[in-house]
A = this chain, B = another copy of it.
């Protein structure tokens, strides 16, 4: 499964984002720039940074990669030693008004917000707020939080925030910045990750720890589920907004979203994936010559499988690293003739071989079908598909853009059916149990595999069943 949207669209699921915040570090906007760049895999459609200097907030945001939206001039215009930033995946055509961070101007002080995740009761909250006079300029959950925070101007800010976060149901990690404080918040289910680091006497927060290595920060700890972390000149202060606390971290973060060099809740992502590959190999007695992985997210899993199995790992599929957003799509005619811009099979590696092809997941099945076909055309004798996660059977309402059963191949058919559909010689999935084992965890959000949604989902399944034809 992949991240770019091209004709040969490997990307089957999306809608992740990355948030980052930095407090009391010189050149905060530059730090944010490099950090967001390291979070770029979480969203390539748009990004933005808000900096604070002497209580004054400045915002630069736009569509495109971090390296496209920011240049030396705009980066220099973002002054101060505090900043928050955001990278965003979004559906094409989405307006600039939805690009984060949101900056709110207020007589009590400007504040800015950015968000990763999905609020399940956003519709209800918007109605509630509009009836009380709020107007919205976007479809963003971050704007809802802005309104919730300013509804009550009399109570202490931290109390207002606690109330607000208890009203938000769903998956979220927020970075919030006022004129002199940086806040990091995670939902009480712990679905979306957020970590704290230390840098030159100041602090940073980030959706993933890979940003810390890039900017030279040291990991301190994760923000806890249901915790509001307040970073100010007095250091770090911790508040709980809920007694309910679980670590139902989204399994797909490990399986697909996160960068291999990130650690999430004390587990390295590459290690998780390699471990899952090893678990996949146990008792898998298929007779093969080589193991290959679908780049980039399935490489670790494939290497683990190969090691456990004692079969050579080979580069049987190769991805063009220069695929960009300005890419011209092949005409229908060329596409049918086999022009493959993004991923290609390595003929001399796969020709005549019995192969295990490891992928991280199967969502719609179209990509797997194409890859298996490509390998066979390149001469593979047999292609045995091994998936580093269980069957993806249920829509996700926490930030992955699968909203109907109809689009999920594993909702429509069983393993044998999928195997036939994608043209594989055999097909096996990681068990849900092995998922926990790979991460050495007792809790995970596996709703997409098991339908066990940790939060109230406000009747979302009704919509998800709408176009169901099976």
A interface residues, Cβ below 8 angstroms from B: 26-27, 30-31, 33-34, 37-38, 40-41, 44, 58-62, 65-68, 70-72, 75, 77, 93, 95-97, 102-108, 126-127, 130-139, 146-147, 150-151, 153, 200, 210, 213-216, 219, 259-261, 263, 268, 270-271, 274, 296, 299-300, 303, 307, 312-315, 318, 320-324, 326-328, 330-331, 333-334, 337-341, 344-349, 378
Contacts and interface: CB of A to CB of B under 8 A. Distances in A.
Contacts of A146: 135
Contact of A97 (B27, B103, B328, B347): B103
B214 A331 contact: no
Contacts of A130: 106-108, 150, 153
Contact of A268 (B96, B131, B324, B346): B346
B307 A105 contact: no
A121 to B, nearest CB: 14
A37 B320 contact: yes
Given A135-B146, A349-B268, A67 B215 contact: no
A81 to B, nearest CB: 13
Nearest to A30: B334
Contacts of A105: 135-139
Contact of A67 (B30, B328, B333, B378): B328
- Smallest CB-CB A-B distances: 7 pairs: A216-B338, A261-B346, A268-B348, A213-B344, A40-B322, A105-B136, A261-B318
A67 B126 contact: no
21 contacts: A30-B328, A38-B344, A40-B320, A60-B95, A67-B322, A75-B328, A105-B136, A107-B127, A132-B133, A133-B150, A134-B134, A134-B150, A135-B146, A135-B147, A200-B337, A260-B346, A263-B347, A270-B346, A300-B315, A303-B313, A313-B313
Contacts of A322: 37, 40-41, 44, 65-67
A68 B334 CA distance: 21
B270 A315 contact: yes
A262 to B, nearest CB: 9
B136 A133 contact: no
B93 A77 contact: yes
B131 A133 contact: no
A67 B324 contact: yes
Nearest to A313: B303
A11 B341 CA distance: 25
A341 to B, nearest CB: 6
A79 to B, nearest CB: 11
